[in-house]
Amino acid sequence: MGYFGKVAGGFVSLLSGMSVTFRQFAKTVFGRKAVTLQYPKELPKLAPAYRSAIKLIRFDESNSHDCVACKACERICPSYCIKLSGGKVEGIKKKRVAMFEMDFALCSLCGLCLDVCPTDTLEYSKVYEEAGYNRDWRVDLLAEFRDYEDEFVAKQRVIEEKAAAEKKAKADAAKKAKEAAKAAKEKAAAEAAEAQPSETQPPEEAS
């Protein structure tokens, strides 16, 4: 290929390069296919397996979380980002958490708190707006549960009272059955004694 061939070849390759960018241009302008996500106006579609900082699970049956403020997560957390407190609640036997705060800035998403939770009430959330506005920024994980806490306590009290009543009824029934059995045994023994008053051998000893 001579000099002019090279020049012409170079020119053609320039044009083919330009056709590539023009196709992209046309696709964006006429196909309206910009890849930009206008973030505050439209939100990203997160992957199903997206995992971010923890949250408390809302269980269907109780319409609330099941945290008993055991502090296992606070103790195991390697970055000390969980702060929680709680304890006995008036009216029910179950302990409840009163304050559960997270520092998202410190959390490294290790997931140890999820593994250690005895009531399995923690899970990964899909919250990606984790930025804080000052150094001591804390996120209150209980915020969405506070309105339902009284309801939960009332429900829990009913459940516990019912459970206690059932237990009592069962215990009474068992006691009654036991007494009945005892009475029957005594009766049987008395009858046996009447039939053979002396030198009797119980059949089980013979065998």
Residues that bind other proteins (CB under 8 A): 7, 11, 14, 17-18, 20-22, 24-25, 27-29, 33-36, 38
Based on CB atoms, which residue is closest to other proteins, 41 or 146?
41
Based on CB atoms, which residue is closest to other proteins, 35 or 143?
35
Based on CB atoms, which residue is closest to other proteins, 1 or 143?
1
Give the 3-state secondary structure of residue 122: strand
Please report how close the Cβ of residue 47 comes to other proteins at its closest, in angstroms: 22
Based on CB atoms, which residue is closest to other proteins, 33 or 75?
33
| Segments in the chain forming alpha helices (H) | 3-30, 72-76, 112-116, 149-195, 203-206
- Distance (Å, whole) CA 67 – CA 97: 6
DSSP state of 148: G
- Distance (Å, whole) CA 7 – CA 25: 27
Please report how close the Cβ of residue 23 comes to other proteins at its closest, in angstroms: 10
Contacts of 173 (CB under 8 A, 6+ apart): none
Based on CB atoms, which residue is closest to other proteins, 42 or 191?
42
Please report how close the Cβ of residue 24 comes to other proteins at its closest, in angstroms: 5
Please report how close the Cβ of residue 128 comes to other proteins at its closest, in angstroms: 22
- Distance (Å, whole) CA 72 – CA 132: 25
Please report how close the Cβ of residue 3 comes to other proteins at its closest, in angstroms: 8
CB of 9 closer than 8 Å to CB of 1: yes
